[in-house]
Structure 1
Amino acid sequence: MTLPSSPDSYLTATADAYDAMAAVYADFVRDALDGLPLDRAVLAAFAELARSGPAGPVAELGCGPGQMTAHLRDLGLDAFGVDLSPALIARARAAHPDLRFDVGSMAALDLPDAGLSGVLSWYSVIHTPPRKLPPYFAEFSRVLAPGGHLLLAFFESEGDPVTPFDHKVTTAYRWPLDGLAALARASGLTETARMLREPAPGERFRRGHLLLRKPPI
């Protein structure tokens, strides 16, 4: 899949930045869930909701080197991954040859309408400029089957407005929980639950998690 060019050149810039740091990043996130019981719990809740919802696979959008897609598989889901970075997709395929991984953009998914029982976006919208983010929620809603679920994880802004910060790969943004929930509502998704936790040792920021659902017909 060819990534969009200007005016969405941030997509190419993000892909290039992750390509350049693919080895370091893959090593950094390999055991990312160790010592994070709340994160594992919200993922387990998402998996249970997806299993009990409409038929269809679950997509991890922004899957990186594939460790979270594999975690979804281990939770009993028919999961596959999509990511902007060809280098990270190559690592995901090598590490998890039993799973499907595709190069693609969340801004324009090469997926049919209403075909997914779930979408996981695990810190994958953090590099999107705020004004560009609403179409992502529209895509999430488009590819979810009625009654399907979305789990969104992100860096929380501690009550401040959307705030850029110096992510080690490329510029990222911290969002207030209510701000992302409002974008989700505007795209037709309804909030099921939210989880906010304080930084774990070695983390800089609070972490936000939103469980969302596409209303059933």
Structure 2
Amino acid sequence: MNTAVLFDVDGTLVDTPAGMTTVLRRVVAEHGGAADEPRLRATVGRPLVASLALLLDLPADHPDAARAADRARALFTELVIPSAADLVFPGVPELLADLREHGHPLAVVTSKVRRSAVELLEAAGLLPHFDVLSCHGMAERGKPHPDLALLAADGLGVPPGRCAVVGDAVDDVLMARAAGMDALGVATGVATPDELLTAGARAVHPDVVRLGEALLPLAPRR
């Protein structure tokens, strides 16, 4: 059985963190608040409601946090989605095509809700590469808990021990470790290589091209 590869999206496949911080900054400002760049970037890739509750100093279940998340999604659609195809990291489409050619099942595991994940992946031209989308709200708990990764593995029909998670954030690595999966980091997003390694990543690659060199030997070419 070939190893399944589970990819995070923001900061891993698509260079959206800068656009997302712009969106978050605007939403926070609309609510009369302010947040510096490091604080904004630290929330990228996490569920929007929880991130905005933190940035707005609200309880996680406060209705204003949910409304702010809806506003952020609308702004993301308006400001970031039109340029999604240009934000795909160099080498990503080729890597995904090569992995499929090698027979690796592929999934997305993301803190985006399904509607937002489909919107971004479709606009970026990446959606057809994936067999399964495991998105926030589809399991009881999100990252860094193992639930979404285990859901993806189950959807692919692959045991957790035959899965590798690829991500740019500490939560991706912690999720992989909790699920009993291999964890590979990429230094293209919000976390530093040292942070990813400390969290338990087996290796951290500077970009997707170098990542491909590690992933493609996982199974012989068919």
Higher relative contact order (CA 8 A, sep 6+): 2
Same structural fold, with TM-score higher than 0.5 when normalized by the shorter chain:
no
Q: What TM-score do the two structures reach when normalised by structure 1? A: 0.45
**Structure with more strand by fraction:** 1
Q: Given the two structures, how large is their TM-score scaled by the length of structure 2?
A: 0.44
